[in-house]
Amino acid sequence: MERVRPQAESLREQALGIIRDAITSGELAEDRIYSAAGLAKQLGISLSPVREAMMALVTEGTVEAVPNRGFRLVTITEADLEEIIAIRVLLAVPAARSLAEAGSEDIVGRNQRAGEDAASGSATKAVAVTRLRGLAEATVTAVEAGDYAEFYTQDRRFHEALLEHGLGGRAAAISLRLRDQSRLYRRQDQIGAIAEDSARELPKIVDLIESGNAAEAAELVTSNLYFFKRVPADADG
């Protein structure tokens, strides 16, 4: 299955993005060992960038190397998942609050520190809201079509954008590494209605951010990150 990534990315970054999406969507399973060559063929990308990307994921703790065989995803326990989500909430809540509370002066200052033109500051929140709304709508569209792999991918991109605009690229990178390790798709046999509810929360989060309602935006972001808790207790069976 060939994928398209932004042209500005290096081959390694493209491969890493594609592999992250495959992990998020459940296309790569925890109980299999993957060779770099096999992954390159499966994902429709070049071998060398795949090797580099997989070694980067080993360093992050998402993947482990199996000597003379290849790579496999690190198994995540329920306790691991709880810890991962708790940390992601610590990042996502201030990101949502920052965006909701942002005024043009605050954003201008942030852009100037980042070396951007101050004149673009007043439009930054609008740009963020537009991007987030587009990703939120794509997530809803995917889940309504029953495409849960695409749902997980678009949901991941929504939360990446929220962190990027609210706190910055470093916070987004940390949260994404944790997201890749959580692999919520393991419960997809009972995820239908729950995924739909989760997806429909994203446009509401955008509305709250746009209207400046920081408290409710933070509360809904937290609930959204913990959506796996809505799965019945016997779903593990």
pTM value > 0.85: no
Biggest alpha carbon–alpha carbon distance for the chain: 56
From the number of C-beta atoms within 10 Å of its C-beta (0-12, 13-18, 19+), residue 60 rates as middle
Q: Which domains are present in the chain?
A: 11-73 (1.10.10.10), 78-236 (1.20.120.530)
List the chain pLDDT tens, one digit each, 237 residues: 444 444 445 888 888 888 887 887 678 888 899 999 999 998 888 899 999 999 999 998 889 999 989 999 988 888 888 899 999 999 999 999 999 998 644 543 444 444 444 344 445 889 999 999 999 999 999 999 988 878 888 998 999 999 999 999 999 999 988 888 776 555 555 667 788 899 999 999 999 999 999 999 999 999 999 876 665 544 444
CA 87, distance to chain mean position in Å, is: 14
